[in-house]
Amino acid sequence: MCAKPLSTKILDGPYDLPPARLGRLVELLEGYGRPFMLTSLKTASKLGLLRRIVLICFKDTRNRIYLQKHTASAPLYAGLWDVSAIGTVFAGESPADAAERELAQQLGIRGARLRVMGSLPYTDSRGASLSATFFLAGPSPALPSPDDSVCADGMFVDQYELEGLALHQQDMLTPELVWAVQSGWLFRKPSGPFLAG
């Protein structure tokens, strides 16, 4: 006996939700980094469940990296210098799409070339499990216009200034920024952990 074809569409799970609803949910990841469930960002953050984020360093045409300084009232890394932009990857969104969105929302930068430098899992200072994809944006002549409610200050630094800060003033930088410098993903390095050392 031949099965009768279904006359109604079977929904493809949670991704058939309206885009406005999907944009408020994050994918929780299992041990191999594959999504297995959707939840709110608040729930994922509160329980420290593994989710995706993006870290973006914006480079200008003079080969300088733009850094943002967190406000003194920021819930995480208050008063510290950080990468250009950082943000959550929402459900149904690729890390590259999230990086483009965060650059536009946080710095007003659109159309900058994005390069994935790498991904890694880590635990932040609040105990949240994260899978971070690191992007280098630019070079671009665009000037960042950060949101003053979350950014106390901003500045461009060249390779030697940034490596000097990472070597001698780590207490002024977020662990993510120190890691980005030490990884060698921001600037080419012929040998050793730093050029400026």
Does some domain include residue 73? yes
CA atoms within 13 A on the CB side of 169: 11
How far is CA 130 from each of CA 26, 68, 88, 189, rounded to the nearest angstrom? 12, 21, 10, 27
Best CA proximity match to 109, nearest among 137, 86, 148, 81: 137
Does some domain include residue 68? yes
Does some domain include residue 101? yes
Does some domain include residue 157? yes
**Structure token pair of residue 92:** 């149904």
The string of pLDDT tens digits covering residues 128-151 is: 788 899 999 999 999 999 988 888
Q: What is the CATH number of the domain that holds 105?
A: 3.90.79.10
9 burial class (0-12, 13-18, 19+ CB within 10 angstroms)?
Answer: exposed
Statement: residue 171 has pLDDT above 70: yes
Does some domain include residue 11? no
Contact (CB, 8 A) for 130 and 49: no
* Banded model confidence at residue 172, pLDDT cuts 50, 70, 90: very high
E strands, the chain, are 25-29, 35-40, 51-60, 65-70, 81-82, 85-88, 114-123, 129-140, 151-157
Predicted confidence at residue 15, as pLDDT, reads 67
**Structure token pair of residue 194:** 């730093």
Best CA proximity match to 40, nearest among 30, 28, 58, 52: 28
Does some domain include residue 175? yes
Domain that holds residue 132: 20-183
The domain total for the chain is: 1
Contact (CB, 8 A) for 107 and 58: yes
Does some domain include residue 10? no
Element spanning 42, H or E: helix 41-47
* Kind of pairing between the strands at 51-60 and 35-40: unpaired
Does some domain include residue 167? yes
Which residue did the predictor score with more confidence, 190 or 151?
A: 151
What is the mean predicted confidence (pLDDT) over 78-94?
Answer: 92
Q: What is the pTM of this model?
A: 0.82
* Mean pLDDT, all residues of the chain: 85
**Structure token pair of residue 100:** 């483009």
